Amino acid sequence: MKISYSKDADALLMELSDEPIAYAENAEKVILHYSNDEKLVLIEILDFRHLMSDKTVAELLAS
Give the Cα separation of 33 and 37 in Å (integer). 12
pTM for the whole thing? 0.79
pLDDT, position 63: 61
Provide the Cα torsion 9, 40, 2, 63; round to 10°: 90
Structural element, H or E, at residue 40: strand 40-46
pLDDT surpasses 90 at 61: no
pLDDT, position 51: 79
26-49: pLDDT as tens digits: 988 999 999 999 999 999 999 988
Whole-number average pLDDT of the chain: 89
